[in-house]
Structure 1
Amino acid sequence: MGKLVKTYTAGGAIAHRRIVKFGAADGAVLQATAATEGLIGVTDHPGGAASGERVDVVRSGFTEVEFGGTVTRGGYVTADVDGKAVAAAPAAGTNNGVVGRAEVSAVAGDIALVFILPAQVQG
């Protein structure tokens, strides 16, 4: 199954296999830093990208993401402060941006497959 990949300009330093959000300018992305942000995809840029460099972002389909916490397969995935994947667990009445669903169970430090399908979930 293929991926939908779009190239953007890095609005700051972005690591490989990290969750991103739109930047301040059209065509720019930033590494995500919170579950409450509008998450759009995951970087596919070995070695990472410096500010101003072009960076590929997987917007839909299966891709590998670096995990920052425990997620159970099938669970919704959001971003931690470092743009790593963690379980989406919004408080009651709070929205979390999600980048997709984990294909396998994973823990902090794992690089695992996620189906990218950005959305929001409410607690």
Structure 2
Amino acid sequence: MQVNLIRSHASGYGQPLSPSKARMLLALRINVLAKGYSGISLQNLHKLIAAFNAYCVSYVPEKGSVGASGDLCPLAHLALGLIGEGKMWSPSTGWDDASVVLKKNNLERNIYYFFL
């Protein structure tokens, strides 16, 4: 998936979801991808799980969506943090630049194929 698609769909606005709600969004995405019907590598699935286990969550605005599915915008924001762009939250950093949060939690930031 092109990074520009993630950036262009990350168009939400408003206050961020609470870290617990954003973490639940990540858990739901992990659950869907783990079923094996999506084109995601096991390596990238493990990276998602590592972010979940480290309580690292992306800044996902509470408003805004694109498309009939209604989840493109929130998922784009979720992916944006996981590729090291935008903001993320972790217990050790609070809200900070995603690249900083990922680095402080020993997570890779160059993960571009999460949501295929």
Normalized against structure 2, the TM-score is what?
Answer: 0.31
Higher relative contact order (CA closer than 8 Å, sequence separation 6+): 2
Structure number with higher helix proportion: 2
Normalized against structure 1, the TM-score is what?
Answer: 0.30
Structure number with higher strand proportion: 1
